[in-house]
Amino acid sequence: MKAPKQSFISNVTTEDRLDPERFSDWLRLLRVTAWVKRFTDNCRKTNDRNKSRVLTLKELQEVENMFIHKTQVKHYPEEYSCIVKGQPMPRSSKLIPLNVKIDEQDLMRCDTRLTHARFLPYNVRYPIILPRKSPVTRLLVKSFHEAGNHYGTNQTLAAMSSRYWLIGGREEIRDWEKKCSKCKKLKAKVLKQVMAPLPPIRLKKSMRAFANSSVDFAGPFLTKQGRGKVRQKRYLCLFTCLSSRAVHLKIAFGLDTDSFLNAFYRMSSRRGFPEEMYSDNGTNFVGAYNELLELYEQMDKQKITEKANNHRIKWHFNPPLAPHFGGVHESMVKSAKRAIYAVLNSADITDEELLTAITGAEGLINSRPISYQTSHPKDDTVLTPNHFIHGQIGGQFTPEAVDSTVFNVKKRWRYVQEIVKHFWHRWLREFIPTLSNRKKWHQETRDLKVNDVVLVIDADKSRGEWSLGRIVALHPGN
The residues binding Zn ion (CB under 5 A) are 150, 180, 182-183
180 vs 1: CA distance, rounded Å: 49
For 306-311, which contacts have Cβ atoms below 8 Å and span 24 or more sequence positions?
Answer: 307/261, 308/277, 311/268, 311/273
Q: How far is the CB of 137 from Zn ion (least distance, A)?
A: 16
Supply the minimum distance, in Å, between the C-beta of residue 77 and Zn ion.
33
Nearest to Zn ion of 183, 382 (CB atom)? 183
Q: What share of the chain is helix, strand, coil (3-state, %, to 5)?
A: 45, 15, 40
| Smallest distance from Zn ion to CB 151, Å | 9
Nearest distance from C-beta of residue 182 to Zn ion, angstroms: 5
Residue 175 beta carbon to Zn ion: minimum distance, rounded to whole angstroms: 12
Q: Are 35 and 51 in contact (CB under 8 A)?
A: no
Judge whether 218 and 295 are in contact, CB under 8 Å. no
Phi, psi of 240 (to 5 degrees): -120, 130
Quickly count: other Cβ atoms within 10 Å of residue 89's Cβ: 18
Q: Maximum CA pair distance of the chain?
A: 127
The secondary structure element, H or E, covering residue 200 is none
Q: Which is nearer to Zn ion, 182 or 205 (CB)?
A: 182
- Decide whether 143 or 318 has the Cβ nearer to Zn ion: 143
Q: How far is the CB of 160 from Zn ion (least distance, A)?
A: 15
Pairing, β 467-470 against β 453-456: antiparallel
- Distance in Å, CB of 165 to Zn ion, minimum: 22
Nearer to Zn ion, 93 or 143 (CB): 143
**Per-residue CA distances from 349 to 91, 104, 334, 364, 383 (Å):** 80, 80, 21, 20, 34
**Residue 383 and residue 387: Cα distance in Å, rounded?**
7
Q: Between residues 12 and 188, which has the closer beta carbon with respect to Zn ion?
A: 188
DSSP string, 82-138: HHHHTPPPPTT-TTGGG-EEE-TTS-EEE--TTTT-TTS-HHHHSPEEE-TT-HHHH
Output the smallest distance, CB 177 to Zn ion, in A: 6
**CA pair distance 76, 65, nearest whole angstrom:** 16
Q: What three-state secondary structure class fits 448?
A: coil
For Zn ion, give the closer residue by CB, 141 or 211.
141
14 or 155: CB nearest Zn ion? 155
Which uninterrupted H or E stretch holds 330?
A: helix 327-343
Minimum distance from residue 150 beta carbon to Zn ion (Å): 3
Q: Which is nearer to Zn ion, 149 or 443 (CB)?
A: 149
Residue 107 or 183: which CB sits closer to Zn ion? Answer: 183
- Give the 3-state secondary structure of residue 155: helix
**Cβ proximity to Zn ion, 28 vs 182, nearer residue:** 182
Peptide bond between residue 90 and the one before it cis (omega within 30 degrees of 0): no
Least distance in angstroms from the C-beta of 184 to Zn ion:
8
